C-alpha cells in the first residue's frame, strides 16, 4: 500500500462518509487535488478493490469502502478532529444541572452524546462484580411499612418498600437496620452469602418475622442493581440516514435497540480489559443485526476502577473522527463527574 493509494483511499472514504453515494474516479480526481487523471485513479481503485478495501455495488457504479477499508481508515488514515468550541460549550452548559446519582449522570451524558454526534448513544453500568455495598438502611415509613435502601460505591441508590408486622417498633427497626448496615456494607454483592445472613439472624435474635421482609427487600435492591442499567438515546437519529430509509431496516435496528440486555452484554464484552477507545466496525460486531453498524466505545473509571461503558452506535459510514473526539471528550468529562459524585477512591469507604 503506497502513499498514493492511501491518499486515494482516504479521499474515497471521506467522500463516501459525507455523501453516502458511491464514489467514482472522476469525483476523486476533481474534488481532491492529487494531480492525477481519473484514469490513473481508476487503476488504483481497481487495485484497492482487489486488495479488499473497496467494493462496487454494481459494475457501473463508483466504489464504496468495505469494512476492511474503514478499519484501515480508522487505524491509519483518519484525520484526528476536535470538538468545536460551540460543542464544548453546549456540553458544559448541559452538564451544569445538579446531578446526584450515577444513573442521572449516565442519562444526561447519553443525551448529550447523541445530540453532538447525531447518532445513537449508549451509557451503561455493566460491571456489577465491582459493586460494593456502601450502606444498607431500613427506614420506617408508617405502621407496617418500611423502606429498605441500598447504596453502592458506584453511587447507585436503590430502594424497596416492604411490609412488616405492625407490632414491630420503629426503634427496633433502627437497631436492626444498624446491624444490617454493619454486616453488609463494605462487601461486594457476590460476597453476601449464607453464613453472613446467619450471623445477622443471630444478632437480631428475634423471629424470622422481621428478618425475612428486610432480607427480601435487600435482595430486591440487589436485583435492581444487578439488572444492568443501560441508557440509550437518539435511536431515532438513525432514521435520518439513507442506510435506514427502508422501514424494515429501521424496524430491525430499533427492535435491536429495545433489547437493553443485549446492548448491555455487547458493551460489557467490548470493554473488558480495555481502557482506551474501542471501535468495532460492521461485521466485527458479534451481533448479526449490527453487521452494518459501527460501535465506538470506551470505559469510564473512578480512580483506577472501571465503572462502566459509554459509546456511540452509528452506520458503518459514520464520521469516525468526530465520534472519536466526542467519545474521548465525554470520557474525560464523565471521569470528572463520577469522581465528584462518588469520590476518587470508591473501593474503600
Partner DNA sequence: ATTAGCACTCAACGAGCTAGAGTGCTAACA
Partner DNA sequence: TGTTAGCACTCTAGCTCGTTGAGTGCTAAT
Tell me which residues touch DNA (CB under 7 A): 4, 21-27, 35-40, 42-43, 45-46, 49, 56-63
Question: Which of 160/271 has CB closer to a copy of itself?
Answer: 160
Q: Select the binding partner of residue 206 from a copy of itself, DNA, none (C-beta < 5 to 8 A, by kind).
A: none
Contacting positions for a copy of itself (CB under 8 A): 98, 100-101, 134-135, 137, 139, 141-142, 147, 149, 151, 155, 157, 159-162, 220, 236, 239-240, 244-247, 250-251, 254-255, 258, 349
Q: Select the binding partner of residue 330 from DNA, a copy of itself, none (C-beta < 5 to 8 A, by kind).
A: none
Cell of 260: 437493553
Q: Select the binding partner of residue 49 from DNA, a copy of itself, none (C-beta < 5 to 8 A, by kind).
A: DNA
Nearest distance in Å: CB 116, a copy of itself: 17
Q: Select the binding partner of residue 161 from DNA, a copy of itself, none (C-beta < 5 to 8 A, by kind).
A: a copy of itself
Question: Which of 167/245 has CB closer to a copy of itself?
Answer: 245
Separation between Cα atoms, residue 258 and residue 104, nearest integer Å: 19
Residues 130 and 307 sit within 8 Å (Cβ to Cβ): yes
Q: Select the binding partner of residue 10 from a copy of itself, DNA, none (C-beta < 5 to 8 A, by kind).
A: none
- Provide the angle, in degrees to the nearest 10, between the axes of the packed helices 320-342 and 102-117: 160
Collect all residues with Cβ–Cβ distance below 8 Å to 193 and sequence separation of at least 6: none
The DSSP line for 119-170 is SEEEEEE--GGG-BEEEEEEEEEETTEEEEEEEETTS-EEEEEEE--TTS-H
Separation between Cα atoms, residue 323 and residue 301, nearest integer Å: 20
Nearest distance in Å: CB 21, DNA: 7
Q: Which backbone phi and psi does 231 adopt, to 5 degrees?
A: -110, 135
Nearest distance in Å: CB 162, a copy of itself: 7
Q: Select the binding partner of residue 254 from DNA, a copy of itself, none (C-beta < 5 to 8 A, by kind).
A: a copy of itself
- Annotate 59-90 with b (16+ C-beta within 10 A) or e (fewer): eeebbbbbbbbbbbbbeebbeeeebeeebeee
Nearest distance in Å: CB 314, a copy of itself: 16
Residues 321 and 80 sit within 8 Å (Cβ to Cβ): yes
Separation between Cα atoms, residue 185 and residue 173, nearest integer Å: 17
Question: Which of 84/349 has CB closer to a copy of itself?
Answer: 349
Collect all residues with Cβ–Cβ distance below 8 Å to 343 and sequence separation of at least 6: 302
Question: Which of 21/336 has CB closer to DNA?
Answer: 21
Q: Select the binding partner of residue 23 from a copy of itself, DNA, none (C-beta < 5 to 8 A, by kind).
A: DNA
Separation between Cα atoms, residue 108 and residue 116, nearest integer Å: 12
Nearest distance in Å: CB 328, DNA: 34
Q: Select the binding partner of residue 20 from DNA, a copy of itself, none (C-beta < 5 to 8 A, by kind).
A: none
Cell of 12: 474515497
Question: Which of 60/80 has CB closer to DNA?
Answer: 60
Nearest distance in Å: CB 28, DNA: 8
Nearest distance in Å: CB 17, DNA: 15
Separation between Cα atoms, residue 241 and residue 126, nearest integer Å: 29
Nearest distance in Å: CB 122, a copy of itself: 16
Amino acid at each position: 500500500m503506497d502513499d498514493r493509494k492511501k491518499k486515494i483511499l482516504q479521499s474515497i472514504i471521506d467522500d463516501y462518509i459525507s455523501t453516502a453515494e458511491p464514489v467514482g474516479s472522476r469525483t476523486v480526481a476533481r474534488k481532491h487535488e492529487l494531480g492525477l487523471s481519473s484514469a490513473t485513479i481508476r487503476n488504483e481503485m481497481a487495485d484497492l478493490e482487489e486488495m479488499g478495501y473497496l467494493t462496487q455495488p454494481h459494475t457501473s457504479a463508483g466504489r464504496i469502502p468495505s469494512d476492511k477499508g474503514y478499519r484501515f481508515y480508522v487505524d491509519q488514515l483518519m484525520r484526528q478532529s476536535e470538538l468545536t468550541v460551540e460543542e464544548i460549550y453546549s456540553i458544559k452548559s448541559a452538564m451544569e444541572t445538579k446531578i446526584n446519582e450515577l444513573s442521572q449522570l449516565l442519562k444526561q451524558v447519553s443525551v448529550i452524546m447523541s445530540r453532538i454526534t447525531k447518532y445513537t448513544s449508549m451509557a451503561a453500568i455493566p460491571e456489577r462484580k465491582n459493586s460494593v455495598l456502601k450502606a444498607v438502611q431500613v427506614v420506617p415509613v408508617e405502621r407496617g411499612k418500611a423502606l429498605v435502601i441500598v447504596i453502592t460505591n458506584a453511587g447507585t441508590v436503590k430502594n424497596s418498600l416492604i411490609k412488616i408486622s405492625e407490632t414491630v417498633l420503629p426503634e427496633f427497626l433502627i437497631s436492626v437496620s444498624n446491624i444490617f448496615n454493619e454486616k453488609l456494607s463494605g462487601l461486594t454483592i457476590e460476597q453476601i452469602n449464607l453464613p453472613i445472613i446467619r450471623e445477622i439472624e443471630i444478632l437480631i435474635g428475634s423471629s424470622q418475622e422481621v428478618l425475612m421482609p428486610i432480607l427480601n427487600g435487600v435482595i430486591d435492591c440487589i436485583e435492581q442493581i444487578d439488572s444492568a442499567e443501560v441508557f440509550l438515546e437518539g435511536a431515532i437519529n438513525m432514521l435520518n440516514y439513507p442506510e435506514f430509509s427502508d422501514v424494515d431496516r429501521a424496524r430491525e435496528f430499533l427492535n435491536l435497540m429495545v433489547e437493553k440486555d443485549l446492548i448491555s452484554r455487547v458493551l460489557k464484552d467490548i470493554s473488558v480489559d480495555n481502557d482506551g477507545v474501542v471501535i468495532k466496525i460492521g461485521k466485527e460486531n458479534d451481533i448479526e443485526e449490527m453487521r452494518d453498524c459501527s460501535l465506538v466505545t470506551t470505559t469510564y473509571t473512578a480512580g483506577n476502577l472501571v465503572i462502566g461503558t459509554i459509546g456511540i452506535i452509528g452506520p458503518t459510514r459514520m464520521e469516525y473522527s468526530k465520534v472519536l473526539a466526542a467519545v474521548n471528550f465525554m470520557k474525560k468529562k464523565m471521569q470528572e463527574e463520577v469522581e465528584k459524585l462518588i469520590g476518587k477512591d470508591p473501593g474503600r469507604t
